[in-house]
Amino acid sequence: MENWQDQKSYIKTFTEDECAISTQDLSVFYGGTVQKLFNVSLGFKKNTITALIGASGSGKSTFLRSLNRMNDRVARVDGSIMFHSLDVNQSKINVYELRKAIGMVFQKPNPFPKSIRENITYALKANGHRNKKKLDQIVEESLKAAALWDEVKDKLDQSALALSGGQQQRLCIARAIALKPEILLLDEPASALDPVSTAKLEDTLKQLRKKYTMVMVTHNMQQASRISEYTAFFHLGHALEYDTTTNIFTNPQGEITEKYIQGSFG
Amino acid sequence: MNAKKTNRIAAGVIYFLVGIVILLLIGIIGNILITGVPHLSWHFLSSESSSFKAGGGIRDQLFNSLYLLLLTLLISLPIALGAAIYLAEYAPDNWFTQLIRTTIEILSSLPSIVVGLFGYLLFVVQFGLGFSILAGALALTFFNLPTLTSNIEEAIKGVPQTQREAGWALGLSNWKTIRGIVLPAALPGIITGVILSAGRVFGEAAALIYTAGQSGSTVDYSNWNIFSPTSFLNIMRPAETLAVHIWKVNTEGIIPDVNVVSAGTSALLVIVVIIFNFGARALGNWIYKRLTAAKIK
Amino acid sequence: MAKKEQDLQQVVEDALAEQKVPHVKFKGIDPRNIDVDRLTKPSKETRQERWGKGLTFLAIILIGVLIVAIIGFVGMHGLATFIDNKVNVFHFLFSTDWNPGAGKNHVGAAAMIVTSFAVTLLAAIIATPFSIAVALFMTEYVSGKRVQILQSFMELLVGIPSVVYGFIGLMVVVPAVRAVFGGTGFGILTATLILFVMVLPTITSLTVDAFKAIPKELRKSSAALGATKWQTIYHVVLRAARSRIMTAIIFGMARAFGEALAVQMAIGNAVLMPYNLVSPAATLTSQLTSQMGNTVMGTLPNNALWSLALLLLIMSLVFNFLVHLIGKKG
């Protein structure tokens, strides 16, 4: 794959109105000099799921974590991130408000060692929500949205750590949704889960698509093809190809993309 | 000599040396407890010490030790907690942080007598506090700060990074994440660290001889007015602790039952240290289980 | 290859087909309308952040100021002997004539310096083989419960207050030394034996850490070459841990050098150049402990004591420096 830079590539573009969030020439540097991401410009269409695929170290997670400025503490991020016609990759941007608008779910389920209810209400309370009735309602709604309500409605005050891995991950989604974000970023949300939990999680995501824009990093090609409308392929810190999932999987332009997809399926 | 034989001899030597160390350990702790525990009567614990007759107790010294420990923790805990949070969560990786870390290392390796003398110079003489509980607590704070800070920092660093990320991703400020998520998760480790450092403070004498003083004043346990010179709560009165008491009776050698008083007091100190050592871990584990238990309530 | 491509096609088509039929009807909360203005304005979180960072930074600065103050104050008083009282530094370091009450030509601290170093070095020399043996025992020979028991015993040993060691010294070591060697029983040997027990756990626990840090593969590959346990220990474990063992010993020496009360209770407190190990002597710390209360602030005898304290402080810095030096090299 030495000549990867010469490969044919296609990057799908959307108009700004179609996009929930988009990046322009996004580059990420670690430790001042080590560049992990090279001028990535991608737009993510509203109310769709976009899968980011690519080998380990291809920069897809780095890219995802830059979108809600989670890399601020460890890396320098150049370029712009457009969100509501505003470049949110500026120091004057209030990252706390930004992260409330762009939720994130991580690779490993990371519920707080608190009760299920508190996991969801903790951030709300920090935002000044005090009305107990309202909070209970949000807990119920977000757990329902995350398809977890039926399983936990009788034990909301038990520790979240007692849930199974799959339930914990859906709780993390519920926790993110409770803040009513516009966008959900998912960093390999199913990689630590068993097949049954994964299926449930995918179901949940498919339903959430109606209202949220989701960007999901995944190693699992089947998963990408099962639930995403669009797919971007990352290679060595570059976004090499971006198109509808159908096109990427059935008719990839570049040789590397094709090899990666076949290798990962085979 | 062949390799097998050397191997056997080496193992023999190691077991022999370890055996001596174990005998030494048992001997020391056994000696302290066996000679001391029989003297730990209620009378001994509840009566005043005598300055020249036999039969004195250690009531005031025991109270002073506990009171000083409490005050020391009250002063040093907030500072150590703040410093540990800064080092674990905020400190950038630069020369300044490096300097601060070196500083804390230096403070932790300073001989306690030097810390005590500094306390004497600054508080007792310069600030005119005189030999007092306050001066002693401040000196013990210096003595305690580096250990406590690094204990707490370790506990905080033990909290998985994913917990912090969860907080940040919800739009919580770093500070709110630390206070609401990281600190509760680190609590068992913090408590263990605090108790372990408390054991060290409880037995410290060198830092106190010239700060809290070597003599007890008349203490009235029914006087709750903290400004009254005889009140047991007055922080401006001089106060001899258990450890200082052992040192004083042995170096002065005035009372005839030096050995009895010292042995009893030593046993008490060691028992307290044992309780602190094992209690710290047990309590930490218990809280950890409570926090992460499957069922709350 | 063709077969594989067909399979791939099938998998993708199945998956895409499945996508089009979501089975449950979605009800849930709507995203809120993002108020773009809030993205550019500081919020409660911004203030919290500033407050938290400021508060914790303050604690750090406090500790920094503290150490500067300690060095400053002790340094100022310690140097007064040489600046105000015009005592010659070489006289102070190399003369054994210690009688500061008699004037500036009688402020020789050599006897105490030599004694301090003597007890420190002797304690470290005795403790090191024991520490290494115990550490090897705990990491290479046994495992599980026995290690834990030994470990908690060691921790207990660290926790025993130094006055208690001093008292045991008076009760047990002094009479024993008197019985064997005659004399008073007070002296360098007695102090050394007490310090040996006190530094033993320090050196041991750091040495255990050093051994534990050595990768298991190194031991395995050595054993795979047919080396006996001792050969592995000697050629692999001890060699790899060499610099960290040195660090452990220096930490132990720092503890011994700065220990005041236990030594002061056992050494006899006579400022004499030690000519044998069982005659009364005095270390820097023991002299400080026993005399600070007997001098008047600002006079030469008092300043001379502060010079001893300064010397202790400097030695503590030197030990720290050595640890860093070895850390860099090792």
* Structural domain that includes position B264: 40-292
The pLDDT value recorded for residue C210 is 92
- Cβ-based interface (< 8 Å): residues of A facing B: 68, 70, 96-100, 103-104, 106, 108, 110-113, 115, 122-123, 126-127, 157-159, 161-162, 172, 175-176, 179
Q: Does residue B219 or residue B212 have the better pLDDT?
A: B212
Strand positions, DSSP E, B55-180: none
User: Would you call B179 and C60 a contact, using CB atoms and an 8 Å cutoff?
Assistant: no
Residues of A in contact with C8 (CB under 8 A): 249, 261-262, 265-266
Query: Does residue B24 sit within a domain?
Result: no
Whether the per-residue pLDDT at B96 is higher than 50: the answer is yes
Q: Identify the burial level of C325 via C-beta atoms within 10 angstroms of its C-beta, where 0-12 means exposed, 13-18 middle and 19 or more buried.
A: middle
Q: In chain B, which residue's Cα lies nearest the Cα of C200?
A: B21
Q: Which of B165, B180, B292 faces A122 most closely, judged by CB atoms? A: B180
Taking residue B285's Cβ as centre, other Cβ atoms within 10 Å add up to 12
Q: Which of A83, A144, A250 faces C27 most closely, judged by CB atoms? A: A144
Q: Identify the burial level of B53 via C-beta atoms within 10 angstroms of its C-beta, where 0-12 means exposed, 13-18 middle and 19 or more buried.
A: exposed
Q: Which of C11, C19, C29 faces A177 most closely, judged by CB atoms? A: C29
The C-alpha atoms of residue B204 and residue B198 are separated, in whole angstroms, by 10
Interface subset of B 222-241, CB within 8 angstroms of C:
none
Contact of A173 with A160, CB cutoff 8 Å: no
Q: Which of C19, C23, C40 faces A226 most closely, judged by CB atoms? A: C19
The pLDDT value recorded for residue C13 is 65
A206, two tokens: 């498919």
Number of domains in chain A: 1
The pLDDT value recorded for residue C306 is 94
Q: In chain B, which residue's Cα lies nearest the Cα of C153?
A: B25
Q: In chain C, which residue's Cα lies nearest the Cα of B204?
A: C161
User: Would you call B106 and C229 a contact, using CB atoms and an 8 Å cutoff?
Assistant: no
Q: In chain A, which residue's Cα lies nearest the Cα of C29?
A: A141
Residues of C in contact with B207 (CB under 8 A): none
Residue type, C49: E
**CATH number of the domain bearing residue B154:** 1.10.3720.10
Interface subset of C 17-76, CB within 8 angstroms of A:
18-19, 22-24, 26-32, 34, 36, 38-46
- Gyration radius of chain A over CA positions: 19
Residues of B in contact with A113 (CB under 8 A): 184-185, 291-292
Q: Does residue C77 or residue B280 have the better pLDDT?
A: C77
The pLDDT value recorded for residue C204 is 94
Question: How many angstroms separate the CA of residue A219 from the nearest CA in chain C?
Answer: 15
Least confident of A140-149, B124-133, C199-208, C305-314: A140-149
Mean pLDDT of C87-108: 90
Least confident of B292-296, C96-100, C299-303: B292-296
Q: What pLDDT, in 10s, does the model give residues A227-250? A: 899 999 998 888 889 999 988 888
Query: Does residue A64 sit within a domain?
Result: yes
Residue A106 has what DSSP assignment? -
Q: Which of C11, C31, C38 faces A211 most closely, judged by CB atoms? A: C31
The pLDDT value recorded for residue C1 is 46
Q: Is C3 on the interface with A (CB under 8 A)?
A: no
Report the CATH architecture of C111-329. Orthogonal Bundle (1.10)
The C-alpha atoms of residue B201 and residue B143 are separated, in whole angstroms, by 8
pLDDT band at A260 (very low <50, low <70, confident <90, very high): confident
Q: What pLDDT, in 10s, does the model give residues C30-65? A: 677 777 788 888 888 888 889 999 999 999 999 999
Mean pLDDT of C141-146: 86
Question: How many angstroms separate the CA of residue C13 from the nearest CA in chain A?
Answer: 9
Least confident of A29-43, A233-247, B213-227, C274-288: B213-227
Taking residue B12's Cβ as centre, other Cβ atoms within 10 Å add up to 10
pLDDT band at A1 (very low <50, low <70, confident <90, very high): very low
How open is the CA angle C151-C127-C313, to the nearest 5 degrees? 100
Query: Does residue B7 sit within a domain?
Result: no
User: Would you call C18 and A249 a contact, using CB atoms and an 8 Å cutoff?
Assistant: no
- Chains with ≥3 Cβ pairs under 8 A against C? A, B
Residues of B in contact with A65 (CB under 8 A): none
Mutate to test the interface with A, among C1, C16, C39 (most CBs of A within 10 A): C39
User: Would you call A126 and B176 a contact, using CB atoms and an 8 Å cutoff?
Assistant: yes
pLDDT band at A211 (very low <50, low <70, confident <90, very high): confident
Q: How far is CA A259 from CA A239, A244, A247, A266, B205, in A?
A: 16, 18, 15, 10, 73
Question: How many angstroms separate the CA of residue A85 from the nearest CA in chain C?
Answer: 9
User: Would you call A101 and C39 a contact, using CB atoms and an 8 Å cutoff?
Assistant: yes
Query: Does residue A252 sit within a domain?
Result: yes
Which residues neighbour C102 within 8 Å (Cβ) at sequence distance 6 or greater?
none
Taking residue C307's Cβ as centre, other Cβ atoms within 10 Å add up to 26
The C-alpha atoms of residue B30 and residue B266 are separated, in whole angstroms, by 12
The pLDDT value recorded for residue C37 is 80
Average pLDDT, chain C: 87
Q: Which of A144, A181, A225 faces C15 most closely, judged by CB atoms? A: A225
Query: Does residue A203 sit within a domain?
Result: yes
User: Would you call A110 and B185 a contact, using CB atoms and an 8 Å cutoff?
Assistant: no
ipTM of the complex: 0.90
User: Would you call A99 and B168 a contact, using CB atoms and an 8 Å cutoff?
Assistant: yes
Nearest CA to A219 out of A168, A173, A166, A264 is that of: A264
Q: How far is CA B155 from CA B159, B192, B194, B282, in A?
A: 7, 9, 11, 16
Q: What pLDDT, in 10s, does the model give residues C215-228? A: 888 888 888 888 88
User: Would you call B15 and C73 a contact, using CB atoms and an 8 Å cutoff?
Assistant: no
Whether the per-residue pLDDT at B168 is higher than 90: the answer is yes
Q: In chain C, which residue's Cα lies nearest the Cα of B176?
A: C48
Query: Does residue B93 sit within a domain?
Result: yes
The C-alpha atoms of residue B138 and residue B177 are separated, in whole angstroms, by 31
The C-alpha atoms of residue A124 and residue C282 are separated, in whole angstroms, by 66
Q: Which of C11, C16, C29 faces A265 most closely, judged by CB atoms? A: C11
**CATH number of the domain bearing residue A50:** 3.40.50.300
Nearest CA to C120 out of C2, C308, C284, C5 is that of: C284
Query: Does residue A70 sit within a domain?
Result: yes
Whether the per-residue pLDDT at B294 is higher than 60: the answer is no
Residue C293 has what DSSP assignment? G
Question: How many angstroms separate the CA of residue A55 from the nearest CA in chain C?
Answer: 19
User: Would you call A246 and C8 a contact, using CB atoms and an 8 Å cutoff?
Assistant: no
Query: Does residue B9 sit within a domain?
Result: no
Number of domains in chain B: 1
The pLDDT value recorded for residue C29 is 66
- Chains with ≥3 Cβ pairs under 8 A against B? A, C
Residues of B in contact with A123 (CB under 8 A): 167, 170-172
Contact of C100 with C237, CB cutoff 8 Å: no
Q: What pLDDT, in 10s, does the model give residues B233-262? A: 888 888 899 999 999 989 887 788 888 889
Q: Which of C11, C23, C40 faces A92 most closely, judged by CB atoms? A: C40
Please report, for chain C, the start and end positions of each structural domain, with discontinuous segments joined by +.
Answer: 43-94, 111-329
Which percentage of chain C shows pLDDT scores above 90? Answer: 55
Q: Which residue has the tokens 């010659």?
A: C88
Q: Which of C45, C293, C324 faces B173 most closely, judged by CB atoms? A: C45
Whether the per-residue pLDDT at B291 is higher than 80: the answer is no
Residues of B in contact with A127 (CB under 8 A): 171
Residues of A in contact with C34 (CB under 8 A): 84, 101, 182
Average pLDDT, chain A: 87
Whether the per-residue pLDDT at A144 is higher than 60: the answer is yes
The pLDDT value recorded for residue C8 is 64
Q: What pLDDT, in 10s, does the model give residues C7-23? A: 666 666 666 555 554 44
The pLDDT value recorded for residue B292 is 65
Coil, strand or helix at B294 = coil
User: Would you call A98 and C39 a contact, using CB atoms and an 8 Å cutoff?
Assistant: yes
Q: Torsion angle, CA of C39/C42/C44/C49, rounded to 10 degrees?
A: 110
* Structural domain that includes position A203: 4-113+181-265
Least confident of A13-17, B115-119, C117-121: A13-17
Query: Does residue A242 sit within a domain?
Result: yes
User: Would you call B28 and C260 a contact, using CB atoms and an 8 Å cutoff?
Assistant: no
Q: What pLDDT, in 10s, does the model give residues C223-244? A: 888 888 888 888 889 999 999 9
